Homo-oligomer: A and B are copies of this chain.
Amino acid sequence: MLDFNKPYLTGKEGHYIYQAVLSGKISGDGMFTKKCHAFFEQRYGFKKCLLTTSCTDALELAALLIDIQQDDEVIMPSFTFVSTANAFVLRGAKIVFCDSRADHPGMDEDQVEALITPRTKAIVPVHYAGVACDMDKIMALADKYGLYVIEDAAQAIDSFYKGKDGVKKPLGGIGHMGAFSFHETKNIMSGEGGMLVVNDEKFINRAEIIREKGTNRSQFFRGEVDKYGWVEMGSSFLPSDIIAAFLYAQLENLDDIQKKRKQIWDAYYVALKPMESKGLFTVPVLPDYATNNAHMFYLVFNNLAERTDVIKKLKDSNIWAVFHYLSLHKSPFYTDKHDGRDLPQTDRYTDCLLRLPMFYELDPTVVIDFFKKL
């Protein structure tokens, strides 16, 4: 069976874990956590990076930082992972779901303004498949209405947005905060793992406090206060330095990993794009303001039946391809909380989108051959 995903080892993960253990400190914020923070801050110019145990937790930290209160409204796509919504629901927010674009599963930026009310507190754009949302439009709305923007950059490592000013900006570094995932299905991974990027400096101090169980321990260790205590509500967001050690080995090989994934992605694109004319599926569209980080290669079929048929045939050919997500506005948990609006593009991607195998060590030939013979 050809796997859908296979975690890739660069070779130094075990060595770095051993180093972390020898350092005598493998709880959170050890030497490799600091190395990972420095890597991201230097490479992408992020103001403040904070590793977390998951992207879910990074989003929860963001929700605490913007002080979400009961019945505050948060606008996000319905076609996303449950954690995007859960993080804000846990704080009492009402989720206002936005439909996807017709040409791309990302949130339709042009539909956001109509969803803003006096209770709206934040917009959470999801950079689906690592492809940028049109951040100029979203940031303009945030400015106009005084909203926070939390980028769900779970899939968006090493991907960029080039807006009207022509400057290439790293995803996760544009909104007030950005959340990344290092789950094993991601380009760079540590099994489970995540990171919050804080771009608005006013949040940095509280981010450190909330992440350290609501204590000012970070300030204490920098000598800024003479004892530390419980100063705010918080949680434990720190991953073990074992996780950071693993992640750092991956980060050192980021360029190699990205190069290889782009080769695979391009091979898919070159082979499958011409097949669009047969009318069975379409391949991904990249807006001209977005770069491609080769996180995912997906096809969009005409309907659920045709997708189901292809999944079955792939399985019969020993190829494991998977679909996601299920429209959150129609989920058992949220259907009676949703305001009833129809979100047709979301439902279309729910029924019709299929992800092809995508990992560093993949030879895509067998998948491409399958579609040639289809």
Stretch at the interface among A135-143, A184-192, A288-296: A184-192
Give the contacts of A1-35 with B (CB-CB under 8 A).
Answer: 3, 6-7, 9, 13-14, 17-18, 20-21, 24-28, 30
Indicate whether A219 reaches chain B with its CB closer than 8 angstroms: no
**Contacts from A to B (Cβ < 8 Å):** 3, 6-7, 9, 13-14, 17-18, 20-21, 24-28, 30, 53-57, 60, 70, 81-83, 85-87, 89-90, 183-185, 189-193, 213-215, 227, 229-236, 238-243, 246, 326, 328, 331-334
Q: A242 touching B191 by the CB < 8 A rule?
A: yes
Instruction: Tell me the complex Cα distance, A234–B86, Å.
Output: 6
Of B27, B192, B229, B328, which contacts A240 at CB under 8 A? Answer: B192
Q: A232 touching B333 by the CB < 8 A rule?
A: yes
Report A235 CB to chain B, min CB distance, Å: 6
Q: List 10 A-B contacts (CB under 8 A).
A: A7-B26, A53-B236, A56-B213, A60-B235, A70-B70, A83-B235, A89-B233, A214-B333, A230-B334, A231-B331
- In the complex with contacts A21-B7, A242-B190, A56-B332 CB distance below 8 A: no
Q: B26 touching A191 by the CB < 8 A rule?
A: yes
Q: A332 touching B229 by the CB < 8 A rule?
A: yes
Q: B90 touching A192 by the CB < 8 A rule?
A: no
Q: A230 touching B328 by the CB < 8 A rule?
A: yes
Q: Closest chain B residue to A183 by CB distance?
A: B27
Q: B24 touching A9 by the CB < 8 A rule?
A: no
Chain B residues, Cβ within 8 Å of A82: 213-215, 230, 234
Most interface-central of A13, A25, A189, A191 (chain B CB within 10 A): A191
- In the complex with contacts A9-B21, A53-B53, A190-B240, A27-B332 CB distance below 8 A: no
- In the complex with contacts A17-B17, A24-B6, A184-B26, A333-B243 CB distance below 8 A: no
Chain B residues, Cβ within 8 Å of A328: 230
Report A25 CB to chain B, min CB distance, Å: 7
Instruction: Tell me the complex Cα distance, A30–B238, Å.
Output: 21
Q: B18 touching A213 by the CB < 8 A rule?
A: no
- In the complex with contacts A26-B191, A193-B240, A213-B56, A86-B233 CB distance below 8 A: yes
Report A209 CB to chain B, min CB distance, Å: 10
Q: Closest chain B residue to A326 by CB distance?
A: B229
Instruction: Tell me the complex Cα distance, A20–B184, Å.
Output: 12
Chain B residues, Cβ within 8 Å of A13: 21
Report A280 CB to chain B, min CB distance, Å: 24
Report A323 CB to chain B, min CB distance, Å: 11
Chain B residues, Cβ within 8 Å of A332: 229-231
Instruction: Tell me the complex Cα distance, A374–B11, Å.
Output: 52
Q: A333 touching B233 by the CB < 8 A rule?
A: yes
| Given pairs A30-B191, A192-B238, 16 additional interface contacts (CB within 8 A) | A26-B189, A26-B190, A28-B191, A28-B192, A55-B236, A56-B236, A57-B236, A82-B215, A86-B213, A86-B214, A86-B234, A90-B233, A184-B240, A192-B239, A214-B333, A229-B333
